[in-house]
Amino acid sequence: DQQVKQNSPSLSVQEGRISILNCDYTNSMFDYFLWYKKYPAEGPTFLISISSIKDKNEDGRFTVFLNKSAKHLSLHIVPSQPGDSAVYFCAAKAGGFKTIFGAGTRLFVKA
Amino acid sequence: DVKVTQSSRYLVKRTGEKVFLECVQDMDHENMFWYRQDPGLGLRLIYFSYDVKMKEKGDIPEGYSVSREKKERFSLILESASTNQTSMYLCASNPSQGGGYTFGSGTRLTVV
């Protein structure tokens, strides 16, 4: 039973356009959400996070939106760059130590 | 530059062997984690530790054990390797107050 779902295995976007990566969750106890980025042959790196008391958090080209009523969050990358091509993991925590990860979405940004 | 270091990038082991995967962090983090990454399944938590000599089972602990004798080191042990343990293994850490993880580069283990 996947508590964090990324239903799109891959996404292709033109350089300069917006990339939107989506994530749905089922556990209403999740109170903290994170996005990680992973290049091949490297470990994931933390990208951006959002607390459940907020609905938006922005960091440069990256913005995360949280819709608690829909149990949905999204990561927007504007403008997209070829170096953004990677696998993006959505993750969630319900207090405590454990972080639950989604299956990942592979983003291709075409030059 | 803060780091989580995994001792091996690639390992090939035989079925039934005892396998040790080592992880060291230099950030004085209290919490350390072992995940495995498989296509279509994302990252799944095997074990974690929130203090020296403390360990907790994650979501898929069967066939694995861990050791944390020192704060900076967290070892994952495959007691008797099986082919279904072929995977990418990722170690991570974060401080006790939480926040994002710092991950190692991963160990790709193949069990033949």
Identify the residue with better confidence: A1 or A17.
A17
In terms of DSSP bridges, do strands B87-94 and A10-14 run parallel, antiparallel, or are they unpaired? unpaired
- CA distances A101 to B36, B43, B58, B80, B98, Å, are 11, 6, 13, 27, 16
Q: Which residue has the tokens 């990208």?
A: A47
pLDDT at B95: 85
Chain B interface, best mutation among A24, A99, A100, by max B CB count within 10 A:
A99
Residue pairs spanning A and B at CB distance below 8 A: 56
The alpha carbon of residue B79 is apart from the nearest alpha carbon of chain A, in Å, by 24
User: CA-CA distance, A4 to A91, in Å (whole number)?
Assistant: 7
- pLDDT, tens digit, for every residue of B85-95? 999 999 999 88
- The per-residue pLDDT for B1 is 66
Which chain B residue shows the shortest CA-CA distance from A7? B40
Please write the tens of the pLDDT for every residue from B20-53: 999 999 999 999 999 999 988 889 999 999 999 8
Contact between B56 and A103 using a beta-carbon 8 Å cutoff: no
Residue percentage of chain B with pLDDT more than 70 = 98
| CA atoms of B7 and B9, how far apart (whole Å) | 7
Please write the tens of the pLDDT for every residue from A78-102. 999 999 999 999 999 987 778 899 9
- The per-residue pLDDT for A80 is 98
